[in-house]
Structure 1
Amino acid sequence: MQVLHIDSSILGDASASRILTAAIVDELRRENPDAIVARRDLAVEAIPHLDGAIAAGFRATGSNDFDDATRAEHARSEALVNELLASDVIVVGAPMYNFSVPSQLKAWVDRVAQAGRTFKYTEKGPAGLAGGKKVIVASTRGGVYSTGPAAGLDFQEAYLKAVFGFFGITDVQFVRAEGLAMGPDARTQAMEAAHTAMRDVVNQAVAA
């Protein structure tokens, strides 16, 4: 089993999503001791946001009219998409920032969303090329967005499910801890519930 472990929180050791992704990966290793884990910390090693010159590296134009820095970014894009395609399970730490995902995580998505690699366009519309993988998202939120009046503001989990689905990855599970900013008791209860849910999600991922 090849596991890709991605963190995107800017909070370091104070991050709830980092605690959960570490626990998920530990559980995957416990269930599959031979698992190989690749790590991407998108806050520590930030991926520059996509621009025209970087995106040009997605296309086989035959042009070499790029400076060394841009060619290095083309190589980074290639490494990132190869890493995704080689993985069986992708564990994503995705805290909610302003109702969506961190820009660090969005930068990663923009690098691996490559026509001909993770998706293609057909006469019937887009088709994913990266199917057969499993994604486990550690979703953390300060408030409550899964139900209630704030549910319509959740552009975090829906976005991740949509973008991985666009890549052809339909097995996307969420280990959610929300209400984390609503007092210490609420935080403790949310993290305990997330750890319990995590074990079931990992068992499903390993057994399937």
Structure 2
Amino acid sequence: MSTITPNSSPTLLQINTSLFADKGNSSVLAENIVAAWRKKHPTGQVVVRDLGSSPVAHLDAARVIALNTPAADRSAEQAAIVAESDALIAELKAADTVVLGLPMYNFGVPSQLKAYLDHLARAGVTFRYTANGPEGLIGDRHLIVAAARGGIHLGLPSDSQTAFVKTFFNFIGIHNIEFVYVEGLAYSAEHKTKAFELAQAEIEKLAA
């Protein structure tokens, strides 16, 4: 298991995707992970992107066309669309560690997260196809996923999130991925408290 290791002046990108902003269970779990990271890196920088309160536009035909139009041929509107995607990619590349708050909505990832990921997947920019198959171009970094679920899904067919997140980030070149789960949050207040206690123990192991 990877650990949260010291660095002189690292950057952490915290991505919250809950509809309830910092009050969402996944955001609270992510913040606990970030707090442990801050103790290890007191001079580090934390950049927060809240996709719940400031969502990225979902793909439509105009955006797909803009992202696939050569730079010299783009209209001003298309250039602005590509600039949005470029900024998201640059933000991710600048981070040494990424903490992703991931709630489960109807057995899947939030649509806000899917829209964000759609702007990261850029042929020739974040991945390319070679004779040996796809190659990620982002460069590896530590991704910690703070997954919060009302029910219990880990290891069951209903957990579509874990495989999806691994597949996507592996595809663009991020392989150092770890998950911290809190599950059964809707069962009872006692179950929720216990789930967060167990998760905190996992976070402390990461920070050890």
* TM-score (structure 2 length as normaliser): 0.89
User: 1:125 and 1:13, CA in 2 relative to 1: closer, same or farther beyond 3 A?
Assistant: closer
In the alignment, what sits opposite 2:74?
64
In the alignment, what sits opposite 1:11?
20
SS at match of 1:153: coil
Give the aligned length.
Answer: 198
State how 1:1-208 maps to structure 2 within 5 Å.
1-59=10-68, 61=70, 62-67=72-77, 70-147=78-155, 151-203=156-208
Shift of 1:26: 1.5
Distance, in Å, in 1 between the alignment partners of 2:125 and 2:203 is 30
Distance, in Å, in 1 between the alignment partners of 2:68 and 2:25 is 38
Shift of 1:6: 0.3
Conserved? CA contact 1:173–1:201, under 8 Å: no
Conserved? CA contact 2:36–2:204, under 8 Å: yes
- Give ranges in structure 1 of 5+ residues lacking alignment: 204-208
CA deviations over 1:26-77 (Å, ceiling 9, x no partner): 211110112111110001111110123223343451223353xx54332211
SS at match of 2:67: coil
Structure 1 runs of 4+ with >4 Å offset = none
Letter in 1 for 2:65: A
CA deviations over 1:88-141 (Å, ceiling 9, x no partner): 111000011111110011111001111122211111210111232010000011
Letter in 2 for 1:200: K
CA deviations over 1:146-200 (Å, ceiling 9, x no partner): 14xxx10111111101111111211110010001011111111001111111121
Distance, in Å, in 2 between the alignment partners of 1:49 and 1:30 is 36
- Give ranges in structure 2 of 5+ residues lacking alignment: 1-9
**How large is the Cα RMSD of the aligned pairs?**
1.5
Distance, in Å, in 2 between the alignment partners of 1:58 and 1:74 is 6
SS at match of 2:143: strand
Distance, in Å, in 1 between the alignment partners of 2:194 and 2:74 is 55
Letter in 2 for 1:196: A
Conserved? CA contact 2:17–2:50, under 8 Å: yes
SS at match of 1:173: strand
* TM-score (structure 1 length as normaliser): 0.89
